[in-house]
Amino acid sequence: MSHSLPAPAAEALRSQTIEIPSWAFGNAGTRFKVFTLPGGPRDPYEKIADAAQVHRYTGIAPRVSLHIPWDRVEDYDDLARHAADLGVQIGAINSNLFQDDDYRLGSLTHADERIRAKAIAHHRECIDVMRATGSQDLKIWLPDGTNYPGQDSIRARQDRLADSLAQIYAALDADQRLILEYKFFEPYFYTMDIPDWGTSLLHCLALGERALVVLDTGHHAPNTNIEFIVAQLLRQGRLGAFDFNSRFYADDDLMVGAADPFQLFRIMHEIVQAGALSPDSGVSFMLDQCHNIEPKIQGQIRSVLNVQEATAKALLVDVEALGAAQRDGQVLEANEALMDAYHTDVRPMLADLRADQGLDPDPIAAFKASGYVDQVADARVGGAQAGWGA
Ligand code: PSV
Ligand code: MN
Ligand code: MN
């Protein structure tokens, strides 16, 4: 079988980009233990250097999301220059509303105006970081919620949230977007103030055109049909970004495509069918994963490749056969058209594509052979390693 991809698929894959999170490179763990690996980055500069390795070997990961205050630095222009020197740029700026004692009962939803104002002001700081780094997207994951029925008024919290978001949205520049994530449970266990895509979408619709939904694949109840949500948000032009990861049980933040590569393919099929793969579609493809025990850079490379493989398969769907079967009500033939593409081994095709682009056909082998991990393990002794949080 030929290894070459059809020209339009190759073209689409060449322009695909995946953004990676700075917090993937620091030490992470569960509430039981944080494991420290040698050579962990000690500051945002070193996190960006590690992220640049992912781009160097895959060629499709040119942006890094930052998390404030974890990635707070003196001089953001300098940080952006450092990124550019390494061939990458700053992506979304993530705010943090989940590590301050003041936010025990909420942040953007808090009943106390002083605390709500503090949470809003934090987003003004994030917007300043966006201006200094050239970032387009302010990403908000709202951890607010309640643990017990009656603890607070569900409705009043929504009203306060709407007001807080409106103030943040008003502070954005005309070319900046607010992208709003949802999560069905955790850190609160009775209500979350943005538990689902419907709630996120309603807030985005109220805010304006530059407010869009972030779909984190790990933030749904088991068996949720995520590709249906993707199709629905794309119809509304309100899918701003993905946070890709895998979940087996809860919000596990494991490598995307690890738990369910078929689901990832189905998601990418909706994306391809809607033309949303194109760089100007407004959909940002990001990873949101934290490696607890596995080597960080290699783990990110694996995830980027998993997204690329799912995308290649989605691009191989015989749309004419699929369309004809759908129009004729040929249930099994339609399903077969999709499954044929899913079962195609695209790895040799992608290896050839990389070779054409002057990249090593096997990014993981090339990264391992580069000796980067040993090199940073020697160079980064002394100083505290950054963890999930610092
Ligand atoms: C917490 O669930 C979370 O994983 C959200 O998905 C955010 O995107 C991420 O942390 C970073 O704040
Ligand atoms: Mn996320
Ligand atoms: Mn999450």
Q: Which distant-in-sequence residues (6+ apart) come within 8 Å of 305 by Cβ? A: 58, 350, 363, 364
- Determine the distance separating the centroid of ligand 1 and the alpha carbon of 243, expressed in angstroms: 9
Q: Is the CB of 242 under 6 A from ligand 1?
A: no
pTM above 0.80, yes or no: yes
- Looking at residue 291, its amino acid is H
Number of alpha carbons in the 13 Å side-chain half-sphere of residue 274: 25
Supply the pLDDT for residue 313: 98
Closest CA to 373 of 297, 292, 304, 301: 297
- Determine the distance separating the centroid of ligand 1 and the alpha carbon of 244, expressed in angstroms: 11
Query: Which ligand approaches the C-alpha of residue 187 most closely?
Result: 1
Distance CA 33, CA 4 (A): 45
Q: Is the CB of 252 under 6 A from ligand 1?
A: no
Q: Is the CB of 71 under 6 A from ligand 1?
A: no
Q: Which distant-in-sequence residues (6+ apart) come within 8 Å of 256 by Cβ? A: 217, 244, 245, 246, 264, 287, 289, 303, 306, 307
Supply the pLDDT for residue 292: 85
- Determine the distance separating the centroid of ligand 2 and the alpha carbon of 83, expressed in angstroms: 22
pLDDT (tens, 9 = 90+) of the chain, 390 residues, equals 456 899 999 999 999 999 999 999 998 888 888 888 889 999 999 999 999 999 999 999 999 999 999 999 999 999 999 999 999 999 999 999 999 999 999 999 999 999 999 999 999 999 999 999 999 999 999 999 999 999 999 999 999 999 999 999 999 999 999 999 999 999 999 999 999 999 999 999 999 999 999 999 999 999 999 999 999 999 999 999 999 999 999 888 999 999 999 999 999 999 999 999 999 999 999 999 987 899 999 999 999 999 999 999 999 999 999 999 999 999 999 999 999 999 999 999 999 999 999 999 999 999 999 999 999 999 998 777 877 766
Q: Is the CB of 336 under 6 A from ligand 1?
A: no
Distance CA 281, CA 114 (A): 39
Closest CA to 91 of 209, 241, 203: 241
Rg (CA), the chain: 21
- Determine the distance separating the centroid of ligand 3 and the alpha carbon of 206, expressed in angstroms: 24
User: Which pLDDT tens digit goes with each residue over 373-385?
Assistant: 999 999 998 777 8
Q: Which distant-in-sequence residues (6+ apart) come within 8 Å of 248 by Cβ? A: 254, 259
User: Which pLDDT tens digit goes with each residue over 146-196?
Assistant: 999 999 999 999 999 999 999 999 999 999 999 999 999 999 999 999 999
> Taking phi first (over 0 means left), then psi (-120 to 50 degrees means alpha), and beta for anything else, what does residue 382 get?
left
Q: Which chain residues have CB less than 5 Å from ligand 3, an ion?
A: 251
Closest CA to 47 of 95, 83, 98: 83
* Domains annotated on the chain, with CATH: 8-315+360-379 (3.20.20.150), 318-359 (no CATH)
- Determine the distance separating the centroid of ligand 1 and the alpha carbon of 260, expressed in angstroms: 20
Q: Which atom of ligand 1 is nearest to the CA of 253?
A: 4
Structure tokens at 231: 């199709």
From 186, 243, 244, 252, the mutation candidate for ligand 1 (largest count of ligand atoms within 8 A of CB) is: 243
Structure tokens at 289: 């994963």
3-state secondary structure 241-305: EEEECECCCCCCCECCCCCCHHHHHHHHHHHHHCCCCCCCCCCEEEECCCCCCCCHHHHHHHHHH
Supply the pLDDT for residue 390: 66
- Determine the distance separating the centroid of ligand 2 and the alpha carbon of 141, expressed in angstroms: 7
Give the CA distances from residue 27 to residues 127, 248, 274, 364, in Å, rounded to whole numbers and listed in that order. 27, 21, 38, 21
Supply the pLDDT for residue 280: 94
Q: Is the CB of 141 under 6 A from ligand 1?
A: yes
Distance CA 83, CA 45 (A): 8
Atom 8, ligand 1: residue with shortest CA distance: 141
Q: Integer distance in angstroms from the first to the last C-alpha of the chain? A: 49
Pairing of β 211-216 and β 89-94: unpaired
State the burial class of residue 309 (Cβ atoms within 10 Å of its Cβ: 0-12, 13-18, 19+). Answer: buried
Supply the pLDDT for residue 1: 45
Phi, psi of 67 (to 5 degrees): -130, 120
